[in-house]
Homo-oligomer: A and B are copies of this chain.
Amino acid sequence: MQNYFDDKNREFVIADMYPRRPWLNYLWNDQTVSSVNQFGFGNSFSMLSNRRRNIENGERHVYIKDRKSGEYYSANRNFDKLPFDKHECHVGLGYQKIISEYNGIRTEFIITLPKGGCALQFDIKVENISEEEKEIDVYFYNQPLPSLSYEAYGVADYDEELQGILYSHIGYRVTMPYTHLYLASEKQIHSYDACYNRFCGVYTTLAKPNGLTTDTLANLGLSNDKYVGVFQYRLSLKKSEIFETVIACGVARNREECIELAKQYANKNSFEQSLQDQKDMNEAYTDTFTMQSDDDIMDSQVNVWLKRQISLGKTWGRIYGKGFRDTLQDLTAFVSFDPKFARERLLYILKHMFEDGNTIRMFEPNFRYPYNDGATWIPAAILAYLNESGDVGVLDEKIPYIKGNTKENTSYVEGVVTYEDYSKICTEETYSVFDHLQRAMDYLYGCRGKRGLILLHGGDWNDSLNAVGKLGKGEGVWLTIATVKAYNEFIQILKIAKKEERISEFVSRREELKACIMKHGFESDRFIYCYNDYDEKIGSEDSPEAKIFLNPQTWSVLGNVAEKEILESVMDSVESNLACDFGYIQCNPPFTKGSDRIGRVSYFFGGNVENGSVYNHGVAFKAVADCLLGRGDAAYKTLKLIRYDNPKNLNSGVEPYAVTNMYTGPYNRYLKGYAPDSWITGTAGWTYRCITEYFCGVQAAFEGLKIAPCLPTTWNKLNVTRKFRGATYRIAFERGDCNKILVNGKEIVGNVVPLQAEGTECDVRVYFR
């Protein structure tokens, strides 16, 4: 029962079905997103009319019942740990497949969704793999969520024309037009039920539902109780005979639309098309960069899985909402997979800025707490897009702002999210992307405190340092470093776009900021995090707790804010102050005294969330910083520390095919090393960029493909294939006695492989010491 990466099929195969916590896969299109675990359980919703519309949630089952013996089991869940001959989950890109074999019956349960639209598709395939004929009943069970307010308004019942159950909810003051939900079957059903308490029973669980002990289901709908959907199929299967049906579940505005969509999606052709669409999209994405090293796990991460995770982020953000900062970072990594789509997303994201150049914290739904770091993330994304695509024209594209300035559009009241319609809050006039970018850069410079550092207001990357700047006085050292990094990138963009008129101004602004950082933010072996509204230092040797933070050190390298010796020394401080068995903690020692001069981070129990956890997003910054300092061994060690196969943290619970936001830090002795969740984290994008751009060192540049590896001393070779501007670069790295690069056999000067003609393949040999 060994789990494994099946790179050929771009699958991860879960053979041990009982990891520490359920392992998730995500399925999505632009309208609908669904999480699904190794048993096929999950939840899904669509964004419709600017709101979330739930589709279904929880357990799904394919029950098999032997009609002669009356014995039954859930083929995907196997509650009783029956001695299945096979029970495994194929985690796919855009689908989830659970296979089981027991008692001569092979069952495949596949979940996917169409390329667009608000529906899930379930395929059930049952095969008689025994020698004799089988009389079996097959049941499908799921938990649709038709209610838009209160169950007493709704009703569910079988609809002949739909060939399934129609759930309607036309309730009082329900404004969501998608009031109908369907669960439809391709093949004729034998019976159905729509009530949880009737089907399952009040004193039983879905391991032993009452409905499986009777010959047929109740054939009854429901109003005003817990709605479910259950179909029964009555089969006689000869040896090798296969039964297959496709089931669709989705939402629509009325019965007629439900019938139409059910016909469209509840059939085998549509299901196969969905799988093909997913395959096509994901193959195109995964082909953009592939590596073959001696580290199979890193290969699988980079070649397949991180891409998928980044792709989720760039469309769905953090699922609970689309963080401006978050989607931009994901996009910065995503640009190479599909530059055309990246362009679209870039324009979409940048629309969520205020007229003063600052950004909203999160959109869809909108969260307007006045975080002040949004602008710093913009140039990296634009630069990445320009380098990848060469498309300078994007800077002239025109898009609106959110009407008004930060001050009048944000509030310090947390937790308030609204589903505003963007068209109602945006400016009538549109402005170029370059205008957006310039306003963002100017906003930061104009928003500084008495020390010349950028003001924090509601906070920065560290969401939970949310009270340091509420009075408008607190200044960020990290935030100023991030601004320097942004200015570095902005200056590059100015050069690329041949808009050199503001370069000298920004060079001088940058140097001014660097001087302020060194004067007010540097302490012999560390950069502090910030000053709060009360002139207290956070993350300083003088601080009572949380004396050092990870990010100011790593970003000092990313922003190149000081001499190399200083950068090296603060990174050494990271090693001596923040290292633990499974990564680097965000701050040390953790806060133990809640303070309203600091924010919620100080109230979290130590080791949780941002308070002294191993926050992997930050650890990925650290690995990039290692590479930038030429510390390949440190970078590799760091990347492996936070991997699922770290021998000192094998029971973290994280999916091998996904990276996690956070490992609980050592101070929380009850759960240290535990990864509560994964997928929705900036760690994916930064880990991907770290490995591909800084570790392997294959970087898109405006004028060509830059090669600057920083591999560990234990690596002697590496092969990379990179698609770039329509050409394919096959790059072979080999350790030698000097650094040189041969392109199609000819050594080049410098480290930028010149652009190749579209459609060509190019052979690159990289020798490194």
Residues of A that sit less than 8 Å from B by CB: 18, 20-22, 152-155, 170-173, 195, 197, 202-203, 205, 220-225, 414, 594, 599-600, 602-605, 607-609, 664, 668, 670-671, 676
Contact = CB atoms under 8 A, between A and B. Distances in A.
A173 B609 CA distance: 17
B671 A604 contact: no
B668 A224 contact: yes
A222 B153 contact: no
Contacts of A600: 171-173
A74 to B, nearest CB: 13
Nearest to A77: B203
Given A22-B202, A203-B18, A609-B152, A223 B603 contact: no
B605 A195 contact: no
Given A172-B599, A671-B223, A671-B225, A20 B155 contact: no
Contacts of A414: 173
Given A22-B202, A202-B20, A594-B172, A153 B224 contact: no
Contact of A603 (B170, B203, B668): B170
Contacts of A603: 153, 170-172
Given A223-B668, A670-B195, A676-B224, A605 B202 contact: no
A593 to B, nearest CB: 9
User: Which of A153, A203, A605 has the most chain B CB atoms inside 10 A of its CB?
Assistant: A605
Given A154-B605, A202-B21, A600-B172, A221 B670 contact: yes
A222 to B, nearest CB: 5
B202 A153 contact: no
Number of copies of this chain that the complex holds = 2
Contacts of A671: 222-225
Nearest to A466: B172
A223 B155 CA distance: 42
Contacts of A170: 594, 603
20 contacts: A18-B202, A21-B197, A21-B202, A22-B202, A152-B604, A152-B605, A152-B608, A153-B604, A153-B605, A171-B603, A172-B602, A195-B670, A205-B205, A221-B670, A222-B671, A223-B668, A223-B670, A223-B671, A224-B668, A225-B670
A9 B670 CA distance: 47
Contacts of A223: 605, 607-608, 668, 670-671
A605 B203 contact: no
Contacts of A154: 605
Contact of A605 (B205, B224, B594): B224
Nearest to A607: B223
Nearest to A207: B205
Contacts of A155: 605
Nearest to A222: B670
Nearest to A599: B172
Contacts of A195: 670
B664 A224 contact: yes
A489 to B, nearest CB: 34
Nearest to A220: B670
Given A171-B594, A220-B670, 19 more contacts: A18-B203, A21-B202, A152-B604, A152-B605, A152-B608, A153-B603, A171-B603, A172-B594, A222-B670, A223-B605, A223-B607, A223-B668, A223-B671, A224-B605, A224-B668, A224-B671, A224-B676, A225-B670, A225-B671
A203 B37 CA distance: 12
Closest 6 CB pairs of A and B: A172-B600, A152-B608, A172-B603, A223-B605, A155-B605, A222-B670
Contacts of A222: 670-671
Contacts of A20: 202
Nearest to A174: B603
A190 B350 CA distance: 60
A603 B168 CA distance: 12
Nearest to A195: B670
Contacts of A225: 670-671, 676
A608 B197 CA distance: 17
A202 to B, nearest CB: 6
Between A170, A222, A602, A604, the greatest number of chain B beta carbons within 10 A of the residue's beta carbon is seen for A604
Nearest to A223: B605
Contacts of A664: 224
Contacts of A205: 205
Contacts of A602: 172
A89 to B, nearest CB: 14
Nearest to A203: B18
Contacts of A197: 21
Nearest to A18: B203
A473 to B, nearest CB: 20
Contacts of A676: 224-225
A734 to B, nearest CB: 46
Nearest to A221: B670
Contacts of A224: 605, 608, 664, 668, 671, 676
A224 B153 CA distance: 37
Contacts of A220: 670
A254 to B, nearest CB: 14
Interface centre among A154, A221, A224, A414 (most CB of B within 10 A): A224
A607 to B, nearest CB: 7
Q: Give the one of A195, A599, A600 with max B CB within 10 A.
A: A600
